[in-house]
Amino acid sequence: RTSIVTSPCFSSFSSWFLFPNLIQLCRRRQQLLKALDCFPGPPRHWLYGHAHELQDQELNKVISWAEKYPCAHSVWFGGFLGFLNIYHPEYAKAVYSRGGENIRSSSTESYKQWTEQAAK
């Protein structure tokens, strides 16, 4: 009797499916690191990111980071999911005017209103 780990079917599945996805995940992580490293931010744990700091008193921690990094800072949830928190309207204009398919706003309409009010 063979176990599933030693079966030929599992070996071919892992080599054809899991390994390429692992490589793709690592490449995506490297792209995020490269893109977000140019922004200041609190130091992150290599595995947890900032998630271990945000478990207790999440709002207070984010407010303290916003005071320490007044324009923008990166936030990592684990080692593979990173976000950029932008606080200053002129900074947001500079980042979003750059364009690109990878830029996603949580609320595009509120962003437009925010930058229009800041320009007045």
Residue by residue, pLDDT tens for the chain (120 residues) are 555 555 666 677 667 777 888 899 899 999 889 888 888 899 999 889 999 888 888 889 989 999 999 999 999 999 889 888 988 888 888 877 776 655 555 545 555 665 566 555
Q: Which residues pair with 85 in a beta bridge?
A: 73
Residue whose C-alpha is closest to residue 69's, from 48, 98, 39: 39
Quick check: helix, strand or coil at residue 13? helix
What is the pTM assigned to this prediction?
0.66
Domain ranges of the chain: 1-38, 40-119
Q: DSSP alpha helices (H): ranges in the chain? A: 8-13, 19-36, 58-68, 89-96, 108-119
